[in-house]
């Protein structure tokens, strides 16, 4: 009877149940914590792999682009990209073993693109208890770069008599005091006219500043191996005629030694700038732009430095005053032709200084404007800006003219690269 009572009391005793239940419940809690630790470690390793793969593909894209820029073919660029990606990946991934890397680069036109993946597995500490000894890691990435395009630049420099205006207001005053004239009065070549006076007295004229601006652009191009190997330049001048001063060349010294001479206005015809009649020949020569993928299929860019004035003949000042209405901003419909042909247009406007004392100025460019400007001079930036858009700049000062060619090239040129 006593033994039966003890058994009954033991069966009814609940004092140890809490500890047992806690022990049983603790197992899945510990398992969950352990799995979380394993997962956190795996995600940390995965992030490390992702960063290494992203950087590797970017390094491969840059390496492949450089090979293309150096003039090598697509297969060489792809090989260089894959090699650089593999080397960069292995050099920047430490502490993870057994990683399998796969990269693939392709070239289409000017674009080099790469995709890649990396995979491995990391050992689990806690999850292996429940049958998961390893955790798989897989990452993907992609990158691209634009190769240096081949570009032909056509420089058209206005050298009309008005471009022999002094480049500063101080120079204009000095010219007037010395010769009585500042605008388009360079009518002889014996050193006695206002051009000779300017030369003898160190007065810098606008055409000289424009020449320096062109030289600054050439120096900039020559200073970059990738640009000098891909960018060719041709120089043209425009006054009473349209003249090609150099061939399309990457030997920039050829251009430097063929800068235009000043257009001395020895007669009414020589003093003219019949832009509207001449620009068609220039447009035809430039032709249609390519995609820049080869020397034979270059992209094309036109940079025009001009005061923006069409002048049929200086006879309006003497025998043909009815021509005065034609002395105004030149017709810019050629810009539409260029745009339709894929040609980038940039314009540097070297503006007239207002000269109310000059009767020729007052009777032509000083007359009311027709495009929204107070005068015809004020119409010029309106029309040229509509022509070139964001690639239009007004360069009034010496420093602005000298830097305008480089600045517009950097802004408008398709050679700007991205990684």
pLDDT tens for the 419 residues of the chain, in order = 555 666 566 555 555 555 555 445 445 544 555 566 757 777 888 888 888 888 888 888 888 888 887 778 889 989 999 999 999 888 887 778 788 999 999 988 778 889 999 998 877 665 566 556 667 888 899 888 777 888 999 999 988 766 777 777 788 788 778 777 766 565 555 556 677 777 788 888 888 888 889 999 999 999 888 888 889 999 999 888 899 999 999 999 999 888 877 766 556 666 678 899 999 999 999 999 998 888 889 999 999 999 898 888 777 777 888 888 888 999 999 999 999 999 999 999 988 777 777 788 888 888 999 999 999 999 999 999 999 999 999 887 888 888 999 999 888 765 433 33
Domain spans in the chain, listed from the N-terminal domain onward: 16-146, 151-412
Give the CA diameter of the chain. Answer: 150
* Sheet hosting strand 111-123, strand order edge to edge: 100-108, 111-123, 134-146
The CATH code that applies to domain 151-412 is 3.40.50.410
Q: Give the angle subtended at the CA of 153 by the CAs of 278 and 401, to the nearest 5°.
A: 80
The pTM for the full model equals 0.72
For residue 8, give every residue at least 6 positions away whose Cβ sits within 8 Å of its Cβ, in sequence order, or none.
none
């Amino acid at each position: 009877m006593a033994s039966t009572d003890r058994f009954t009391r033991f069966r009814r005793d609940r004092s140890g149940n809490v500890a047992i239940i806690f022990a049983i419940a603790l197992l899945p809690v510990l398992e969950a914590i352990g799995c979380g630790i394993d997962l956190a470690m795996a995600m940390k390793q995965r992030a490390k792999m992702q960063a290494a793969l992203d950087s590797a593909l970017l390094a491969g894209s840059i390496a492949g682009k450089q090979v293309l820029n150096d003039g090598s073919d697509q297969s060489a660029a792809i090989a260089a990209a894959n090699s650089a990606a593999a080397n960069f990946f292995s050099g920047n991934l430490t502490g993870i073993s057994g990683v399998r890397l796969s990269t693939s680069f392709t070239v289409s036109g000017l674009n080099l693109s790469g995709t890649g993946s990396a995979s491995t597995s990391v050992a689990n500490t806690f999850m292996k208890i429940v049958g998961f000894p390893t955790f798989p890691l897989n990452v993907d990435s992609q990158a691209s770069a634009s190769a240096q395009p081949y570009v032909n630049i056509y420089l058209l420099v206005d050298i009309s008599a008005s471009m022999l205006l002094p480049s500063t207001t101080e120079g204009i005053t000095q010219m007037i005091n010395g010769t009585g004239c500042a605008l388009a009065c360079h009518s002889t070549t014996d050193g006695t006219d206002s051009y000779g006076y300017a030369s003898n007295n160190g007065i810098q004229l606008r055409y000289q500043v424009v020449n320096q601006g062109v030289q600054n652009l050439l120096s900039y191009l020559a200073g970059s191996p990738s640009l000098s190997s891909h960018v060719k330049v041709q120089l043209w001048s425009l006054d009473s005629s349209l003249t090609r001063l150099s061939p399309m060349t990457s030997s920039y010294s050829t251009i430097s030694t063929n800068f235009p001479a000043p257009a001395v206005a020895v007669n009414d015809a020589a003093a003219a700038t019949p832009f509207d009649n001449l620009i068609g020949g220039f447009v035809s020569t430039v032709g249609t732009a390519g995609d820049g993928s080869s020397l034979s299929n270059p992209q094309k860019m036109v940079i025009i430095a001009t005061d923006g004035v069409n002048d049929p003949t200086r006879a309006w000042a003497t025998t043909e005053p009815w021509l005065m209405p034609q002395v105004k901003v030149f017709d810019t419909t050629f810009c539409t032709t260029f745009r339709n042909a894929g040609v980038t247009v940039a314009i540097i406007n070297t503006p007239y200084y207002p000269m109310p004392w000059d009767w020729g100025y007052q009777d032509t460019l000083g007359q009311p404007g027709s495009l929204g400007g107070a005068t015809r001079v004020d119409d010029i930036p309106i029309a040229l800006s509509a022509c070139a858009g964001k690639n239009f700049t007004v360069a009034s000062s010496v420093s602005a003219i000298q830097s305008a060619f480089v600045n517009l090239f950097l802004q408008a040129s398709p050679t700007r690269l991205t990684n």
